[in-house]
Structure 1
Amino acid sequence: MTPLAITLLLTGLLLIAALAGYALYLWRRVWGRERQLADQQAQQHAALAADLRVLAGSLLQEQVPLIEGAIRIKVLLDNYDSNLGQDPRCQVFQLLFEATEQVPTHSAWKALDKTERRRHEANFSALELQHKAEARRSARWLLDEVLPKNSEAA
């Protein structure tokens, strides 16, 4: 083998080793980022579970209006686990959400005249009478069987 061929071979091997080292460095960064992302998603999932526990408990203790609690639970369930939101035991939250999604909120609610507000409030009362027991059963099911206990979420 000629000295030029040996030099080219050694240069090629050094280049391959350097590129392999750089590739390993990049892969370690990717794996670290994936771990970080998985940790972040787990923390978000645990926070959603904790929020759902608070809302379901508040709904059961009547600390939050039924309609408002059901809407908030539905939105959190969609973010926590979309399949869980479609579970028949949670359909009451979806039903109440759909029944009230056209109702104005915040400043638009305040801008409504009193007769329009009373009409919506009467609808809320009717929905509450019709679905209160089912919503309470669903909230209890979430607390007892679905959502991790506080110590499990941490």
Structure 2
Amino acid sequence: MHLYHWLLLGGLLIIAALAGYAWYLWRRVWRQRADQQAQQDQRNARLAGDIQFIAQSLVNGQVPMIEGSIRLKVLLDNYAGPRREGLSLDIFTEVYDQTAHIPTHEAWKQLSAAERKLHLRLMDTIERDHQQQVQQAARQLADGLH
């Protein structure tokens, strides 16, 4: 064989080796994407279950309206799965936005009695003004997201 044939054979072997390595890397990428999608699907299924559970608890009066609305808003923000068309869920964001400034946990305990009373009055007003809309949206979610 001439030098030309050896170089051609060597070049073909290098191309074949690189093509094999590229195939191997693409298979890893596809597998990683499939694993990530499976994890996302599991996360969405778990979140959908949590959303449905809290919505049912809200409908049944087992969780306060404001707390349930805040929890549902946060869960819905993290949920990236399919949703039934026609779900009207903006009320949870509205309640969340209206109560975002109210201190919680240790900060609530450090408020004076007058400050707490002021916040409680605001929360009562929010509950009174939005109770019907929250209940309607919670009933929709209690049936599931899709």
Q: TM-score by structure 1 length?
A: 0.86
Q: Which residue identity lines up with residue 137 of structure 1 in the other structure?
A: Q
- Return 21-30 or 90-99, whichever deviates more: 90-99
What is the distance in 2 between the residues matched to 1:34 and 1:126? 48
1:61 equivalent to 2:53? Answer no
Task: Give the CA RMSD over aligned residues.
Answer: 1.9
Flag structure 1 segments of 5+ consecutive residues without an equivalent: 149-154
What is the distance in 2 between the residues matched to 1:31 and 1:90? 35
Indicate the residue corresponding to 1:11 in structure 2: 10
Q: CA deviation at 1:115?
A: 1.2
Q: CA deviation at 1:88?
A: 7.5
Q: Following superposition, which runs of at least 4 residues in structure 1 exceed 3 angstroms of deviation?
A: none
What is the distance in 1 between the residues matched to 2:76 and 2:18? 46
What is the distance in 2 between the residues matched to 1:88 and 1:42? 21
Flag structure 2 segments of 5+ consecutive residues without an equivalent: none
Indicate the residue corresponding to 1:147 in structure 2: 145
Q: CA deviation at 1:123?
A: 1.2
Aligned pairs for 1:1-154 (under 5 A) are 3-81=2-80, 89-144=88-143, 146-148=144-146
C-alpha offsets along residues 13-64 of structure 1, whole Å, 9 cap, x if unaligned?
1111100000000000000000001101111111110110111011011111
Cα 1:44–1:33 change in 2 (3 A) is same
Q: Which residue identity lines up with residue 98 of structure 1 in the other structure?
A: D
What is the distance in 2 between the residues matched to 1:65 and 1:114? 21
What is the distance in 2 between the residues matched to 1:38 and 1:75? 22
C-alpha offsets along residues 104-154 of structure 1, whole Å, 9 cap, x if unaligned?
11211111011111111111111111211110100111222x524xxxxxx
